[in-house]
Structure formats: structure tokens, C-alpha cells
């Protein structure tokens, strides 16, 4: 049922572009994951200019330049890092290499924007904290399940407007389709991908902190398993965790690689947010057996029931805010402590997870 007409909560689109051409120069290195395209798209839509691309695999560079013909192929990572015009480097390296690459980028005098998960060890996180404190350069993370999904962006706006009162619980469901045959070898090596909670779970922890307004939380328990993919002994195809924030809000999250082939998209990602005066449900990528479109949001509070289709109506303000933060030394897109805390909690949940199968 849709009762959107006449209600006070409605999406308002925002322009994504915040700078004129030439004011913010970016480059891309390490194209190991396809998320690099979403990262670059968001920054370019906000006004960034893409100058260089580098990867040791010429085929990946060629494919990238077909998508972004304005980019020039660099001969080395060093050519990118030594270019004084480049202000930010975006990267989607093998997960275990993201932290060390970020430290090199920051120490070269540039901001860093990495795919999630940003680290695979606490030691990498601490190295990045040190680099940030010594250079002042940002270590930004592409937590795309909130930052690049319009229903998730609007959910934050609803909470800020008081639509559901105080947030007391967040439930996050992050199922993914494995597509094992299309995955690179490193995807199945735990030392390189970090574990399922470290990887997909970092999205969920970040959303919990953001929607509940917490700066810190404690992991109560966490579990991992390999239920259906025994031929890949280092793969974890299931993980879950419980957390409690410093303000008393609780969270439960489940992530998995068990999406069946019959689903019309790669995963039925959902987030449910309970407040003292209402609740929100996001069906981010599909509304199963009803509509193929994602970005479906359901809101229930004292005003009634509302169903909103948000694709193309909200925009992605994070990317423009990140550019302005880099230029102005502000923290409006995401604070550095929030970025690091989400990574820290997912690493701790992964490290202490009970293996159930």
C-alpha cells in the first residue's frame, strides 16, 4: 500500500556537482575490483577530473579507458603519486593490499579513497591512523551500501528529521551471489580477502554507527561458516554479528554468499531501522516478486504508512561532500574516526568470530 500523497516526508533531489572542471583532480590505481567504476562515477558526477589510471594488468587499464577515455595510462604507480596535480587517488586493490597502498598515497601528499573493506588486519588500521595523524590526508572508504544507494541516503535524512524518533535498533541483511567462476583466485584466500565479516560486514557496521548516531560500539558476538562451498575451504559464505552502541542501540547483521540464481539481481540487500516513534525498511536492490527496481523505502510512523520509490530522486551527496572536505579540510562527508571505527569493529568481529561450520 502506498500513502505517499500529502505526507510531510518526501525526497528532495540534490545536485551532485560541487566543483567546476579542473578544481579537483583524481586518479585511479589498482583495478582489482569492479567497485572502482562506481567510485570514479560518483566523484566525476560531483565535478572531479580523472587524469591517470594505473594497474599492472594492461587489459584492465584498456577496459577502464574505454569507460573513461579522458584518463591517461600511467607507466607506474609512482608516476601517479608523484604528480602534484593529483589531489586524490581512488583504488580497489586486493583487500589485503588496500591499507599499505593507502599509506603510500597519504605519505605522497594525496587523499585516498578505497573500496571496502579498507583493511584486513588491525596493524594495517593502526598504520593508517598514524599516517593520517602525520599527514592530515584523508583515508576515505567506499561504504557503497549506504553512500551509493538512494534509499539509504534518504533513510538518514528521515532520521535526521525525526521521522522515527530515537533509533534503537538496526538490522542489516547483506546477501550476495557468489558467481564463483568469475572470481579471481585471491577472493578465496582468507589472508587476502580478510573474511566475510571483515569484508561485507564492514558495510553493516558502518550503517549501524551512522543510523544510530554512535561513535563507538561493542561486538557482543559473531559467527562465521562455510555451509555450501566446501570446495573453497578458506571461503566463509555466512557470517553474522550482534553489536551494542555506546548509546544503548543494538544491531544484528547477517551477510552471506548464498543468493540463489533465481533472484533477479545479485542480492536482496535490506536494512530495517527501528525507532521509538516508527520504523523504516529499505529494499535496496530489488522488491522481490513485485518490482525489479531497487531503492524502495517503507516508512511507518504516527503519520501513517508511506512507500517511496527513490531511484533518481535523492542523489549521492557523499561524493561532493568528500571533494569539498578534501579541499577545505572539513569532515562533512564522513569523519575520519567514523571511517576507522567501522573498520575496527568489523576486524574485531572477524577476529573473534566463532566458526560454526
The confidence score (pLDDT) of residue 187 equals 97
Residues 294 and 156 sit within 8 Å (Cβ to Cβ): no
Distance of alpha carbon 288 from alpha carbon 290, whole angstroms:
5
C-alpha distance from residue 73 to each of 2, 64, 70, 217, 240 (Å):
50, 9, 10, 43, 41
Overall average pLDDT of the 202-223 stretch? 98
> Per-residue confidence at 14, pLDDT binned at 50, 70, 90?
low
Total residues belonging to the chain:
357
Gyration radius from the chain CA atoms: 20
With cut-offs at 50, 70 and 90, classify the pLDDT of residue 15.
low
Q: Is the pTM of the predicted complex or chain greater than 0.75?
A: yes
Percent of the chain topping pLDDT 90: 95
Burial grade of 233 (CB within 10 A; 0-12, 13-18, 19 or more): exposed
Cβ atoms 92, 35 nearer than 8 A: yes
As beta bridge partners, residue 172 has 253, 271
Q: Which three cell numbers stand for residue 247?
A: 548509546
Tens digits of residue pLDDT in 59-78: 999 999 999 999 999 999 99
Please, which pLDDT band fits residue 6 given cuts at 50, 70 and 90?
Answer: very low
Strands 88-92 and 354-355: unpaired
Does the structure show a pLDDT above 60 at 325? Answer: yes
E strand map for 60-104: 72-73, 88-92
Asked if residue 5 has pLDDT above 60, the reply is: no
Q: Which three cell numbers stand for residue 14?
A: 540534490
* Distance between CA atoms of residues 329 and 322, nearest Å: 10
Q: Would you tell me the crossing angle of helices 336-351 and 201-212 to the nearest 10 degrees?
A: 130
Residue 4 has pLDDT above 90, yes or no: no
H helices of 108-200, where? 122-135, 144-147, 150-160, 190-193, 196-199
CA atoms within 13 A on the CB side of 260: 3
Mean pLDDT score across all residues of the chain: 96
Q: What cell does 142 get?
A: 567506499
- The Cα–Cα gap between 102 and 112 comes to 6
Per-residue pLDDT tens over the stretch 243-262 = 999 999 999 999 999 999 99
Query: Rounded CA gap, 110 and 340, in Å?
Result: 18
Q: What is the largest CA-CA distance in the chain?
A: 60
| Res 336 pLDDT > 90 | yes
Amino acid at each position: 500500500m502506498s500513502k505517499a500523497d500529502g505526507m510531510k516526508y518526501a525526497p528532495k533531489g540534490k545536485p551532485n556537482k560541487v566543483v567546476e572542471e579542473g578544481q579537483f583532480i583524481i586518479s585511479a590505481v589498482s583495478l582489482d575490483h569492479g567497485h572502482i567504476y562506481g567510485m570514479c562515477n560518483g566523484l566525476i558526477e560531483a565535478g572531479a577530473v580523472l587524469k591517470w589510471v594505473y594497474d599492472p594488468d594492461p587489459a584492465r587499464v584498456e577496459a577502464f579507458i574505454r569507460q573513461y577515455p579522458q584518463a591517461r595510462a600511467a607507466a607506474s604507480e609512482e608516476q601517479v603519486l608523484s604528480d602534484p596535480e593529483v589531489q586524490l587517488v581512488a583504488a580497489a586493490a586486493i583487500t589485503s593490499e588496500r591499507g599499505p597502498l593507502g599509506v603510500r598515497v597519504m605519505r605522497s601528499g594525496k587523499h585516498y579513497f578505497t573500496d571496502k573493506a579498507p583493511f584486513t588486519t588491525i596493524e594495517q588500521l593502526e598504520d593508517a591512523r598514524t599516517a593520517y595523524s602525520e599527514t592530515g590526508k584523508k583515508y576515505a572508504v567506499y561504504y557503497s551500501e549506504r553512500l551509493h544507494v538512494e534509499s539509504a541516503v534518504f533513510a538518514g535524512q528521515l532520521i535526521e528529521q525525526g521521522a522515527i524518533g530515537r533509533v534503537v535498533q538496526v538490522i542489516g541483511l547483506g546477501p550476495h551471489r557468489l558467481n564463483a567462476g568469475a572470481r579471481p583466485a585471491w577472493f578465496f584466500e582468507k589472508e587476502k580477502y580478510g573474511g566475510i565479516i571483515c569484508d561485507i560486514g564492514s558495510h553493516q557496521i558502518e550503517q549501524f554507527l551512522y543510523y544510530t548516531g554512535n561513535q563507538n560500539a561493542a561486538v557482543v558476538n559473531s559467527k562465521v561458516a562455510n555451509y555450501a562451498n566446501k570446495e573453497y575451504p578458506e571461503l566463509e559464505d555466512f557470517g553474522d554479528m550482534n553489536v551494542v552502541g555506546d548509546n544503548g542501540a543494538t544491531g544484528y547483521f547477517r551477510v552471506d554468499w548464498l543468493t540463489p540464481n533465481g533472484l533477479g539481481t545479485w542480492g536482496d540487500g535490506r536494512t530495517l531501522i527501528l525507532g521509538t516513534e516508527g520504523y523504516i525498511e529499505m529494499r535496496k536492490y530489488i522488491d522481490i516478486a513485485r518490482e525489479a527496481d531497487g531503492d524502495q523505502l517503507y516508512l511507518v510512523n504516527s503519520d501513517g504508512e508511506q512507500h517511496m520509490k527513490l531511484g533518481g530522486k535523492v542523489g549521492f551527496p557523499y561524493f561532493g561532500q568528500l571533494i569539498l572536505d578534501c579541499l577545505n579540510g572539513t569532515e562533512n562527508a564522513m569523519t575520519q574516526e567514523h571511517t576507522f571505527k567501522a573498520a575496527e569493529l568489523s576486524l574485531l568481529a572477524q577476529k573473534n568470530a566463532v566458526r560454526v561450520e
